[in-house]
Amino acid sequence: MKTHSVVGSLRSLCFYAVFISAMLAFGGSPVWAAPKGSPWGKNYFPNIELVDQDGKTVHFYDDLIKDKVVAINFIYTHCGDSCPAETANLRQVYKLLADRMGKDIFFYSISIDPKHDTPKVLKEYAERFKVGSGWRFLTGRETDTTLLRKSLGLFRDGVEASKLGEHNTSFMVGNESTGQWIKRSSFDEPKVLASLLGRSLGHAKSGRKANLASYASAEKLPKMGRGEDIFRSRCDSCHSLGNEDGLGPGLQGVTQRRDKAWLARWIKTPDKLLAEKDPIATDFYNRYNKILMPNLRLSDSDVEALINYMEATSKNP
């Protein structure tokens, strides 16, 4: 697909990433079956058929969530708005849970654009984000995934309705066997999400009541200026302020390297610059694995605060 058409369609396509992370009961048979009377069991969730990035067919209830702790979100792989930022943020969670991923914790991202997101496309997407074991990307029939989104409380009325400002960046984490389900934002602090998945929900395994107050006990972030605050919450899942590349280029010295007006436009509307075939943007896009720098709908004052912050930091590494 051509770059500009991808970018054009991204806007409308974005954001239903269903992201399920699942924690399996390991070691022996699960003794903690769903509590009697839990409404969120086998009869609640549709056991729809899905195909993963390796072409393997699975069933939602039986193979993905039964007796597991799960977190779920919906994606469009060629989404240029918030999806890449969501995936990047969840990738931070994934990295924090590294030794558990694929063992007792599993992530599932389910596409709501089956026509475009074939298993092959999903595989490429996973490779671009450099995630593998324990994180499955799935696709299924649209009627089925719609049903699933509804049952998970993550349905927004059609892709059209999810345009500007209506991004559904929520995902579900839950433990099927205890019937606990919690809606979270993919932009939550990765450490909090990792602790929720790795600890709070996991405790249910040992029969202890899950501690859902993880937010309160989460490590407090130091007081930050506005630019730093935005950078840490929206940018640093892809960028460092040093030389090292993340999913995007290292940003050390970027305010000296680039024209300020260009920089401001790029941060505000990278999709537009790509659609216009801006030469710097196009070159970057091709070099960075065709991961789209997301349009995060920042205001002019946000962008200014960010640029000031990047300038101050890179002078003073």
What is the Cα–Cα distance from 38 to 177, expressed in whole angstroms? 9
Name the residue nearer to ligand HEC (CB basis): 203 or 226: 226
Name the residue nearer to ligand HEC (CB basis): 154 or 263: 263
Token pair in block for residue 52 = 């993963």
Q: Would you say 107 and 21 are in contact if contact means Cβ atoms under 8 Å apart? A: yes
Instruction: Looking at residues 74 to 93 of the shown chain, list those that interact with ligand HEC (rule: CB under 6 A).
Output: 84-85, 88
Q: Is 6 in the site for ligand HEC (CB under 6 A)?
A: no
- Cα atoms found within 13 Å of the Cα of residue 5, Cβ hemisphere only: 2
- The least CB distance from residue 250 to ligand HEC, in Å, is 8
Longest dimension (CA), the chain: 63
Q: Is 112 in the site for ligand HEC (CB under 6 A)?
A: no
Q: Is 15 in the site for ligand HEC (CB under 6 A)?
A: no
The CA-based angle 67-71-74, given to 5 degrees, is: 125
Q: Is 17 in the site for ligand HEC (CB under 6 A)?
A: no
Q: Which of 10, 64, 306, 314 binds ligand HEC (CB under 6 A)?
A: 306
Q: Would you say 80 and 272 are in contact if contact means Cβ atoms under 8 Å apart? A: no
Q: Is 10 in the site for ligand HEC (CB under 6 A)?
A: no
- Residue listed under structure tokens 């918030």: 82
Name the residue nearer to ligand HEC (CB basis): 111 or 145: 111
Name the residue nearer to ligand HEC (CB basis): 56 or 297: 297
Binding mask of the shown chain, residues 200 to 239, with x at each position contacting ligand HEC by CB under 6 A: ----------------------------------xx-xxx
Residue type for position 197 = L
User: Radius of gyration over alpha carbons of the chain, in Å?
Assistant: 20
Token pair in block for residue 253 = 């010295």
Q: Is 267 in the site for ligand HEC (CB under 6 A)?
A: yes
Name the residue nearer to ligand HEC (CB basis): 50 or 238: 238
Q: Is 22 in the site for ligand HEC (CB under 6 A)?
A: no
Token pair in block for residue 20 = 């399920």
What is the Cα–Cα distance from 286 to 293, expressed in whole angstroms? 12
Other C-beta atoms lying within 10 Å of the C-beta of residue 211: 14
Stretch that binds ligand HEC, among 67-75, 132-140, 197-205, 251-259 (CB under 6 A): 251-259
Q: Which residues, other chains included, contact 56 with Cβ-Cβ below 8 Å and sequence gap of 6+?
A: none
Name the residue nearer to ligand HEC (CB basis): 84 or 202: 84
Q: Is 14 in the site for ligand HEC (CB under 6 A)?
A: no
Other C-beta atoms lying within 10 Å of the C-beta of residue 301: 9
Stretch that binds ligand HEC, among 71-79, 115-123, 160-168, 289-297 (CB under 6 A): 289-297
Q: Is 254 in the site for ligand HEC (CB under 6 A)?
A: yes
- The least CB distance from residue 126 to ligand HEC, in Å, is 14
What is the Cα–Cα distance from 111 to 302, expressed in whole angstroms? 31
Binding mask of the shown chain, residues 129 to 168, with x at each position contacting ligand HEC by CB under 6 A: ----------------------------------------
Q: Is 285 in the site for ligand HEC (CB under 6 A)?
A: yes
Q: Would you say 232 and 224 are in contact if contact means Cβ atoms under 8 Å apart? A: yes
Write out the residues near ligand HEC by the rule CB under 6 A. 84-85, 88, 234-235, 237-239, 247-249, 251, 254, 257-258, 263, 266-267, 270, 284-285, 288, 291-294, 296, 306
